[in-house]
């Protein structure tokens, strides 16, 4: 066996163990009998441990080192050069963190997540604070494993955006926030109020499931390569390029909760489905980063799913499934209902405009925590202040404020900004799609999503995780991330909907 | 960590990897999108390989050896003594077979199973013969790994009935056959013909699913610890003691295909569900043997499910689900329909009496193959001769004869006899249940299955795989396997149904 073959065989095993773990996790959330929980936790822990053992093995590091010279002359984005480089990167990260710290983090976040559930139910941040302190302390110790670093937030961010630096991220998210707060103000000053009442009423979950399946069938997913199930917290996961599991939940009183959420998860699944088949069973068989991944869920949910052409396409289907509820709703009314903007307390329920302000708030607080400028005990106040200043609303209690998301209990600092990065990237990809597909609107109105799917596969999906986010941005857009497209698109869309006069001097 | 703790930790990992594999296999057959097949095959192979690596590791053998003395003074059926002994036994078996032979067997049987599907469709044994020859050759090489042995069939049997010898099995199955052929002859001579037409008609699969769930709910399974799904070839599998997956298929034209098949699989699930909780994540967390396992599926399907008391209980439920089809069928008519005996070509469709004759035929042919007394090319003729002599029917073609079962293509020689062993053990357990539960019939007629479940848990299930089959037989029945109970019970049941005069001199 040649060295590259041995590398392939080792990473294939590591990949299979990870995919098996993903299937067990999916099963736990969608199929498992309730009493299976304790045994499942052990099975998941074993698969993680065995996978980590193999990923951090001495032999894997030696193999990468021995191959580095061999692939040195190959193009950076060639399969072999990328395989060696990305494997070595993952191996190094796996080696940096001591097994005890890893184990303590797993235990502590597991306890903290349970404490969070209870604290949220009682809206009692004080009860959660000691857990959060332990989690943050462990994250600080994790950060130190990667010293020296430019910024203490860098190692956290790196888990989700490989190679990205905090210093490059801050200006992007600041520009996004600064461009959106005046848009929100203008929307709130507008005399227009969009009517979303058609989305509220009584919607049989079985029929919502039917509608969700039909929405997914309109997306350019490979046939017989995906399935849709119900769960509590929706997600999409890839067991293989051609084995995708999309999940959703149904609110019997609000059809909007599932329809666009399913298209969102379908966007994640599309990305996985478009990865180059030669990448299967390697560490390259993934999206560039969480930001790039989120760009697809957001683009399909909002740019397409809540865009006028696709709404015109889906409107007769919605009416067919719910003839009575939508008897008096035409396509334009559905479009307006789908795009109502209203500042709210909860990120998960936020519209396209306010969503990024929820993220800005979280990202800025995370930075202050890890820069040592904010005491954890002061988080509820800091949260309340920023909600007031960005969204203009008062936070009534912790449950509707600082306790609403599970991320911090799970130790996922560095995760939130990827949601907004996704919107920024989606904006740039949308400009690109408009340039390349002059008939895009007409296609979407006919439900023809394949040309757009093919373009995304060609430019983004098929390359998988060969390149780092900044390299991909450079390759796809010819330069660094730009907030101008997403801001322009949102100002245009909501300017029309809310009859706002165009701003002078752009965004 | 003490040596016993280290052993526990190692076997727990091996167990988790095996359970994860079981979940992936269940998912493949019940949930997986069709296009997921090739990646799933790789994932399953990886989990098998990683598990086998750990099971055959030098350290595991050394650990068992070092513990052997320590547990030597403990009772043989104590947890620790059993754990060391059974782990060492599995370790030895894993070490005996070279990796190449293992890999070649996996490849060859995979190809042979596909060839079998095609050969069966074309009813062409000649096309399958070269594959069968390769499989049998590899099984002979497998047998040689375990030399010296008393009989070349012993190592094959040992995979399903740990420690059982061919020399002990032959007289049991011969007595069974010799007791059943005259019963079948008497049934065929009887002027009585039972009417099973109520089971044939049109039965909506969704309603059959409902009926199946209700049948399972009547069994003493732990609530929220099982689920039922559809598949092509029904099976039951345990992901944990409290996470059981039962599967079935629905024939829209015949409700008998699913109702008793579900109770059969429910019997397997019951056994898993009753294993002692301290056995979880050890190699003891399994049934004594396939024969013992099958005793439970058979007992619940036939002794209980097709017995008069339980049929009286389930009859109103069947009528509630299918009011029209069973409008004119009373409980006694349903009981008679469920127990119609008719020699047929296909084992899977055979009734309680002829089933064991199908098994006798296969077992005797397997013995002749491995004793070198039968050429594989002569199998169809040998099959036809025995079908004529045991069941009195002519085999029209290979598809309805030697090609009907997948077992040989998969290399599972030694498996068939466990089906009949299951019936023998079930007969003995039924005598025991009658002794211990004087109100058994009344309980079953009220759908009270918990006392019987508790008795089986106490005597059989909870001990798991601590003891070998002959030790368990000795412990539960006070002596070796007896065919007298099953033969007496079948003669009594079918004697009454078919109005046959009692035989002189017993069975």
Q: What is the ipTM metric for this complex?
A: 0.95
Contacts with B244 from chain A: Cβ below 8 Å: 33
Best CA proximity match to B291, nearest among B421, B383, B193, B404: B421
Contacts with B24 from chain A: Cβ below 8 Å: 20, 23
- For B407-425, write each residue's pLDDT tens digit: 999 999 999 999 999 999 9
- For A157-175, write each residue's pLDDT tens digit: 999 999 999 999 999 999 9
Contacts with B227 from chain A: Cβ below 8 Å: 31, 33
Min Cα distance A474 → chain B (Å) is 33
Residues contacting residue B323 through CB under 8 Å, at least 6 positions apart? none
Contacts with B35 from chain A: Cβ below 8 Å: 222-225, 242-243
- pLDDT score, position B1: 77
* Full 3-state SS string of A297-353: HHHHHHHHCCCHHHHHHHHHHHHHHCCCCCCCCCHHHHHHHHCCCCCCCCHHHCCHH
- Chain B residues with CB under 8 Å of a chain A CB are 12-13, 16-17, 19-20, 23-24, 27, 31-36, 38-40, 42-43, 46-47, 49-50, 222-227, 239-244, 280-281
- For B335-360, write each residue's pLDDT tens digit: 999 999 999 999 998 999 999 999 99
Are B288 and B463 contacting, i.e. CB atoms less than 8 angstroms apart? yes
Please give the interface size between A and B, counted as residue pairs whose CB atoms are below 8 Å apart: 121
Segment A299-326 shows an average pLDDT of: 98
Could you give the CA distance from residue B181 to residue B115 in angstroms, rounded to a whole number? 34
**Residues A20, B19: C-beta atoms closer than 8 Å:** no
When scoring B20, B55, B226 by the number of chain A Cβ atoms within 10 A, the one with the most, hence best to mutate, is: B20
**Residues A46, B17: C-beta atoms closer than 8 Å:** yes
Average pLDDT, chain B: 96
**Among A330-339, B100-109, B310-319, whose mean pLDDT is lowest?**
B100-109
Average pLDDT, chain A: 96
Q: Is the pLDDT of residue B19 over 90?
A: yes
Best CA proximity match to A163, nearest among A90, A58, A67: A90
Closest CB from A23, A42, A222 relative to B281: A42
Residues contacting residue A260 through CB under 8 Å, at least 6 positions apart? A301, A302, A305, A306, A338
Min Cα distance B407 → chain A (Å) is 27
Q: Is the pLDDT of residue B99 over 90?
A: no
* Catalytic residue status for A65: no
Closest CB from A31, A225, A281 relative to B35: A225
- pLDDT score, position A504: 61
CA atoms within 13 A on the CB side of B46: 26
- For A270-289, write each residue's pLDDT tens digit: 999 999 999 999 999 999 99
- For A123-169, write each residue's pLDDT tens digit: 999 999 999 999 999 999 999 999 999 999 999 999 999 999 999 99
* Exposed / middle / buried, residue A324 (Cβ in 10 Å: 0-12, 13-18, 19+): exposed
Q: Is the pLDDT of residue A507 over 60?
A: no
Segment A395-406 shows an average pLDDT of: 96
**Residues A222, B281: C-beta atoms closer than 8 Å:** no
Of the candidates A161, A265, A294, A366, the residue annotated as catalytic is A265
**Residues B13, A222: C-beta atoms closer than 8 Å:** no
Closest CB from A12, A35, A243 relative to B222: A35
Closest CB from A39, A49, A226 relative to B242: A39
Contacts with A282 from chain B: Cβ below 8 Å: none
- Chain A residues with CB under 8 Å of a chain B CB are 12-13, 16-17, 19-20, 23-24, 27, 31-36, 38-40, 42-43, 46-47, 49-50, 222-227, 239-244, 280-281
pTM: 0.96
Could you give the CA distance from residue A338 to residue B245 in angstroms, rounded to a whole number? 41
Residues contacting residue A452 through CB under 8 Å, at least 6 positions apart? A220, A304, A433, A437, A440, A443, A444
Contacts with B242 from chain A: Cβ below 8 Å: 33, 35-36, 39
- pLDDT score, position B387: 97
Report percent pLDDT > 70 for chain A.
99
Sign of CA dihedral A269, A275, A280, A281: negative
How many residues belong to chain B? 507
**Pairing, β B243-248 against β B236-240:** antiparallel
What would the DSSP string read from start to end of A275-289?
Answer: S-GGGTTSTTSS-S-
Best CA proximity match to A216, nearest among A272, A264, A275: A264
- For A26-81, write each residue's pLDDT tens digit: 999 999 999 999 999 999 999 999 999 999 999 999 999 999 999 999 999 999 99
**Residues B224, A33: C-beta atoms closer than 8 Å:** yes
Of the candidates B88, B265, B294, B366, the residue annotated as catalytic is B265
For chain A, give the longest Cα–Cα distance: 72
Q: Is the pLDDT of residue B505 over 90?
A: no
Closest-CA residue in chain A for B31?
A: A227
Q: Can you name the residues that pair with B382 across neighbouring β-strands?
A: none
Best CA proximity match to A423, nearest among A362, A471, A351: A351
| Residue A506 binned pLDDT confidence (cut-offs 50, 70, 90) | low
H or E segment to which residue A245 belongs:
strand A243-248
| Residue B506 binned pLDDT confidence (cut-offs 50, 70, 90) | low
Min Cα distance A250 → chain B (Å) is 21
Report percent pLDDT > 90 for chain B.
96
């Amino acid at each position: 066996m040649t060295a590259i073959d041995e590398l392939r065989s080792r990473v294939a095993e590591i990949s299979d163990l990870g995919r098996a773990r993903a299937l067990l996790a999916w099963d736990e959330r969608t199929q498992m009998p309730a009493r299976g929980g304790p045994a499942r936790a052990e099975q998941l822990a074993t698969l993680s441990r065995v996978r980590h053992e193999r990923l951090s093995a001495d032999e894997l590091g030696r193999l990468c080192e021995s191959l580095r010279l061999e692939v040195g002359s190959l193009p950076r984005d060639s399969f072999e050069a990328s395989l060696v480089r990305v494997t070595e990167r993952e191996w190094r990260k796996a080696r940096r963190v001591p097994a005890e710290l890893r184990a303590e983090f797993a235990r502590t976040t597991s306890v903290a997540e349970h404490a969070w559930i209870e604290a949220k139910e009682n809206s009692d941040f004080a009860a959660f604070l000691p857990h959060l302190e332990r989690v943050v302390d462990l994250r600080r110790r994790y950060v130190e494993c990667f010293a020296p670093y430019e910024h203490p937030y860098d190692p956290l961010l790196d888990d989700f955006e490989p190679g990205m630096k905090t210093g490059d991220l801050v200006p992007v998210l600041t520009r996004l926030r600064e461009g959106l707060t005046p848009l929100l103000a203008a929307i709130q000053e507008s005399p227009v109020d969009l009517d979303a009442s058609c989305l509220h009423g009584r919607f049989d979950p079985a029929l919502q499931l039917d509608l969700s399946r039909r929405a997914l069938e309109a997306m350019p997913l490979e046939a017989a390569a995906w399935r849709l199930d119900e769960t509590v917290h929706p997600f999409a996961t890839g067991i293989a390029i051609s084995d995708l599991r999309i999940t959703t939940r149904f609110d019997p009183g609000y059809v909007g909760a599932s329809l666009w959420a399913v298209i969102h998860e379908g966007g994640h699944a599309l990305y996985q489905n478009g990865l180059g088949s030669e990448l299967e069973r390697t560490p390259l068989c993934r999206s560039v980063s969480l930001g790039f991944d989120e760009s697809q869920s957001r683009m399909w949910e909002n740019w397409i799913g809540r865009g006028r052409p696709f709404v015109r396409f889906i409107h007769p289907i919605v009416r067919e499934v719910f003839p009575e509820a939508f008897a008096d709703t035409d396509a334009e009314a559905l479009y307006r209902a789908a795009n109502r903007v209203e500042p709210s307390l909860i990120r998960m329920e936020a519209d396209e405009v306010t969503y990024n302000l929820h993220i800005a708030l979280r990202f800025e607080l995370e930075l202050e925590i890890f820069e040592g400028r904010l005491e954890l005990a002061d988080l509820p106040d800091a949260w309340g202040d920023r909600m007031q200043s960005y969204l203009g609303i008062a936070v009534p209690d912790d449950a509707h404020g600082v306790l609403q998301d599970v991320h911090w209990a799970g130790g996922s600092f560095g995760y939130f900004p990827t949601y907004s990065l996704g919107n920024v990237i989606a904006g740039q990809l949308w400009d690109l799609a408009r340039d390349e597909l002059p008939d895009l609107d007409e296609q979407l109105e006919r439900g023809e999503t394949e040309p757009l799917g093919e373009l995304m596969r060609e430019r983004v999906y098929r390359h998988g995780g060969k390149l780092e986010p900044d390299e991909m941005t450079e390759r796809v857009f010819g330069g660094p991330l730009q907030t101008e497209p997403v801001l322009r698109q949102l100002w245009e869309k909501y300017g029309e909907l809310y009859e706002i006069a165009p701003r002078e001097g752009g965004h």
